[in-house]
Amino acid sequence: MHPNFDLSDCYTIQGKLALPYTYFAGSVGSIFLTTLRDRRKIMGIKCHTCGKVFVPPRQTCERCLEDIRDQWVELGDTGTLENFTVVRYADRHLPRRPPFVLGLIRLDGADTPLLHLVAGVVVDRVAEGLRVRAVFAAQPENTILGIDHFQPL
């Protein structure tokens, strides 16, 4: 704790957080999600100026500020777990019962990581650098949960 930190300066404010919420994916996000749902393909967007590949895709390159909405590239379903957290609390809005792993997965060929569920590994043994593969949902989804989870190779 910081030496100048005083707990008497802390307050608790009661409130409610409304979950879940509705998210408008936009034209780029919609193409990503419908391709995931209909073709079970993970698509990224590549900047034609700097070559950076974004997953999930976006309309503008964060590096060059170029409009990249029509520079689609197909990626595979394998990648590397770059970072993770173990969720150990229950909430009716969470996609799984705890404990479960949420990880940042850099798909092969992508320059940005994708946040998603990691299953099929003991939560106390999960580690950065783990090679994983996407497992698609049994029933098509209109969300990122078209990928049910990633599992170790």
Q: For residue range 85-123, list pLDDT tens digits in order.
A: 999 998 888 889 999 999 999 999 999 999 999 999 999
User: Per-residue pLDDT tens for 8-58?
Assistant: 666 666 777 666 667 778 889 999 999 999 999 999 999 999 999 999 999
Q: In this structure, is residue 68 part of a structural domain?
A: yes
What is the count of structural domains for the chain?
1
Residue identified by tokens 């996407």 is 134
Give the pTM. 0.82
Sign of the torsion angle spanned by Cα atoms 40, 150, 132, 56: positive
Residue type, 1: M
Q: In this structure, is residue 76 part of a structural domain?
A: yes
Helix (H, G, I), strand (E, B) or coil at 149: strand
> By residue range, what is the domain housing residue 28?
22-152
136 compared with 11, residue with greater pLDDT: 136
